[in-house]
Chains A and B, each alone.
Chain A
Amino acid sequence: MLFEKPSLTDTVLVADDDPIFRHVLQSCLEKWNYRVVAVENGAEAWKILEQPDAPHLAILDWMMPGLDGLELCRKLRHRKEGAYRYVVLVTAKDNIQDIVAGLEAGADDYLTKPFDVDELRARVRAGSRILQLQDALLQAHEKLQFEAAHDGLTGIWNRRAILDLLKKEVERHHRNGEPLGIVMADVDHFKRINDTYGHPAGDTVLLEVVARIIKSMRRYDFVGRYGGEEFLAVVPGCDAADLMASAERIRASIAMHAIDTDAGQLSITLSLGVVSMQANSIFDYESVLHAADAALYRAKANGRNRVEVATSLFAARAGSA
C-alpha cells in the first residue's frame, strides 16, 4: 500500500492581530503545502522566532499591538546566530518612506494590504528560493568541512585532524590525569602489495584494514590515517592492559583472515607500536608520537606482524612545558 507524504516544503510563521488576515494567510499557505504557525501578536511571534528550530519564513504584520513587525525585524537581524529567517512585512502603509523603513529594519520583502493572494504566493516563493539556496550552501559548506578533516579513501580522520585530536587528548590527559593510549599501525610490505597486485587491490586492503581496526576499537576512540599505509589510533581512558589487548586484537583480526581483493585473497599483516600514558605523566605530544614511532619500528625489526609497547617514553625527557 502506497502512502504518499504531503510535500510540506517549508514552515511559515504568520503574525497578525487581525483574524481575517490570519485566516487568509493560513488558508492560502496551507493550500500551497506550507505548514503554518499562526500567532496574534509580536510577543508570541518573538517567542517562536528566538528558538533554534523556528520557521525560516515569517510573514509579519507591521501594525500589531505591543511588539510590531518592524521591531520584530530589528530584533531578528540583531541576533546574529542561527539560520537566516526570510521576513515578509505586511503593511497597510503604502508610501515609499515607510516601505524603505521596513526594508532598512531588515525585512526581505513587503506586501501591502489589501494584498492579492497571487502576489502573496509569488513573494513567499521567492523567499523559499532564497532559503533553499541557503540550505544548499550550508550543505556544501558542511561537506567541505568534512572533506577537509577526513581521508578521501577511508573516511576516517586525515593526518592533520588525527594529530589535532591527539594533541587535545594529551592536553586533557595532563589536565585530568586519566590514562591515554596511542596505537600506531603500519601495513607490512604495503609497497610490495601495491606493486604486485595493483593500486585498486591496495586500496581494498586499506579499506578492509580500517574496517577491522574500527571494529576492534570502542565507538569513542579516534582512528586516523597517519600516512599512506599508516594509521594512528587515539584511545582515551584506557589502561595499559586493555590497550595491549586492543592492539593484539587488531593485529590478530588482520593476520588471521585474508582480505578479498579483485586480485584474489591476500594475506596481510600489521605491525603495531603502542604507548600507554598513565596518570601524572608529563610527556608532551611530540614525545608520545616519537615513542609510538620507535615502538612501531621495533615491531618491524622484530619480525613484523607483532605489537610492541613503548618503553622509552618513561625514560624520555619531558617536552617543553
Chain B
Amino acid sequence: MTANDLVEVWRRDEALDRVGGDENLLEELCQIFLSSYPGVMEKLREAVMVGNSLGVQQAAHSLKGELSYLSAMQATNIARSMEDMGRAGDLSCAVSSLNALEQSLALLRLALDKSTGVH
C-alpha cells in the first residue's frame, strides 16, 4: 500500500465547487468522463506496450486534465507521474503505474456511478 492509496478517490465537494455548485453540470461531466476515458486508457495501454513515450505522455496528460478537473486526486497523481515518465522517455515503471491507474479508475467509476445514479 502506497501513500497514494490513502489519497481520496474522489473529492466530490471540491469538484462541485469548481463548477460553481451546478449539480447538473457536474453530473454531465461525470457522464462524459465515464464514456470517454476507456478510449484514452486504450491509447495509454497501447503506448505503454509498444514503448511509445510520446504516446504515453499525451494520453496521460489528457487523463490528468480530466481527472484533476473532477478532483479525482488519487488517479490524477498517477496520471501525472505517467505523463512525466513519458516526457522523460523512461517507461521502466510504466506498467506498474498503469495497473495502479486501472485500479484507481475502477474505484472512481464506482464512486461516479453511485453519484450519478447510473443503474
**Contact B18 A117, beta carbon cutoff 8 Å:** yes
**7 A-B pairs, CB-CB below 8 angstroms?**
A17-B62, A20-B36, A21-B69, A27-B25, A92-B61, A114-B18, A117-B18
Answer whether A18 and B66 are a contact pair too, CB < 8 Å, given A23-B32, A24-B25, A28-B25.
yes
Q: A residues within 8 A CB of B29?
A: 20, 23-24
Given contacts A24-B19, A92-B65, 17 further A-B contacts (CB under 8 A): A18-B62, A19-B36, A20-B32, A20-B36, A23-B28, A24-B25, A24-B29, A27-B25, A27-B28, A28-B25, A63-B61, A65-B58, A92-B61, A113-B68, A114-B71, A116-B17, A116-B20
Q: Which A residue sits closest to B62, measured CB to CB?
A: A18
Q: B residues within 8 A CB of A118?
A: 20
Q: Quick one: which of A17, A28, A114 has the most chain B CB within 10 A? A: A114
Q: How far is the CB of B77 from chain A (nearest CB, A)?
A: 14
Chain B interfacial positions (CB closer than 8 Å to A) = 17-20, 22, 25, 28-29, 32-33, 36, 58, 61-62, 64-66, 68-71
Q: A residues within 8 A CB of B64?
A: 92
In Å, the complex CA distance between A114 and B18 comes to: 8
Answer whether A114 and B28 are a contact pair too, CB < 8 Å, given A18-B62, A24-B19, A92-B61.
no
Q: How large is the interface on A (under 10, 10 to 19, 20 to 34, 35 or more residues)?
A: 10 to 19
In Å, the complex CA distance between A21 and B66 comes to: 8
In Å, the complex CA distance between A73 and B34 comes to: 32
Q: B residues within 8 A CB of A63?
A: 61
In Å, the complex CA distance between A212 and B102 comes to: 83
**Out of A19, A27, A114, which one reaches B68, CB within 8 Å?**
A114
Q: How far is the CB of B112 from chain A (nearest CB, A)?
A: 12
**Contact B69 A24, beta carbon cutoff 8 Å:** yes
Q: Which B residue sits closest to A22, measured CB to CB?
A: B32
**Contact B69 A114, beta carbon cutoff 8 Å:** yes
Q: Which B residue sits closest to A65, measured CB to CB?
A: B58
Q: B residues within 8 A CB of A19?
A: 32, 36
Q: A residues within 8 A CB of B20?
A: 28, 116-118
Q: A residues within 8 A CB of B65?
A: 18, 20-21, 92, 113-114
In Å, the complex CA distance between A115 and B70 comes to: 11
